[in-house]
Amino acid sequence: MLKGLFKKKDKPESGGSDRGLLVFENTTAVIRAETVLKEQGWPIRVMGPPPEIRTGCDLVIEFPLIDELAVIRKLAEANIEPLQVVPVTSVLLEPVDLLQVKEMGQYLMVRAANMKITVDRDTGIIVNISGGGCPDVPYLAEQMVNKTLEGAPHPRDVGYTLCAYALQIAYERMVELCSA
């Protein structure tokens, strides 16, 4: 019965006060929850938290509040538990969507916000990752540099922070550009 209620075409449209926020302990949990909920087709968005619940390097997931029960149940099946579920009461911050691309001979660099990834287009190998300020950036660089775009781990799978999320956006754009 519930399953039928939440078919993709039946889901409520997003917008206004019918939206809720899922607040998690860390960005890793946000990224895992995003993956689970998107796989189920929910119209969710990863956003910046409003000031009253912001603590540091935060993300929240905006979701249709009407679906709260089903969303919580689906997350629980994946062993993900939000710290809080709150209604949207103020304007949320949009993640960066302005990407910059720079060609340097055989190399291509993509920048998203404060993160840059550079690839040798002849080989598809990631030759450098720069920018960022959170501790997982040097870790991600160690895991990804000198590997191919296909063979490197995805930032969203091994990173924890907003810097990792920005690098994921740059990485996805790089994959698009290199496969075009």
Partner 1 sequence: MLGLVGTIPIENIPLISGTIVLDGDHIVLENERISVNRGTPAMIAAAAETLAYMGKPSPVAYLVGDIGDGDGSRHLYNYLSENIGEYALKTLALHYFQPDVHLFKKLFSTIYELDERPTLVGDAGFMYVAKMGGDAALFDLLTPDAGELAYLADEKAPHPFYTRGFILHEDNQVPDLIARAYRHKNASTYLLVKGATDYIADENGVIATVDQPQEEALEAIGGTGDTLTGIVSALIESGMDMESAAINAARVNRLAGAMAKPTPATQVYEVIRQIPRALDQVLNA
Tell me whether residue 66 or residue 145 sits nearer to partner 1 (CB atom).
Answer: 145
Tell me whether residue 25 or residue 176 sits nearer to partner 1 (CB atom).
Answer: 25
Pairing mode, strands 115-120 and 107-112: antiparallel
The answer to whether 124 contacts partner 1 (rule: CB under 8 A) is no
Measure the CA–CA gap between 27 and 75, rounded to whole angstroms.
Answer: 15
Burial of 69 from C-beta contacts in 10 A (0-12 / 13-18 / 19+): exposed
Measure the CA–CA gap between 9 and 12, rounded to whole angstroms.
Answer: 9
Within 91-120, the residues that bind partner 1 by CB under 8 A are 93-98, 100, 102, 104, 107, 109, 111, 113-114, 116, 118, 120
Segment near partner 1 (CB under 8 A); pick from 7-15, 31-39, 73-81, 89-97: 89-97
Measure the CA–CA gap between 46 and 63, rounded to whole angstroms.
Answer: 9
Measure the CA–CA gap between 24 and 33, rounded to whole angstroms.
Answer: 9
Residue type, 90: S
Return residues touching partner 1 (CB under 8 A). 26, 28, 48, 51, 54-58, 93-98, 100, 102, 104, 107, 109, 111, 113-114, 116, 118, 120, 127-142, 145, 159-166
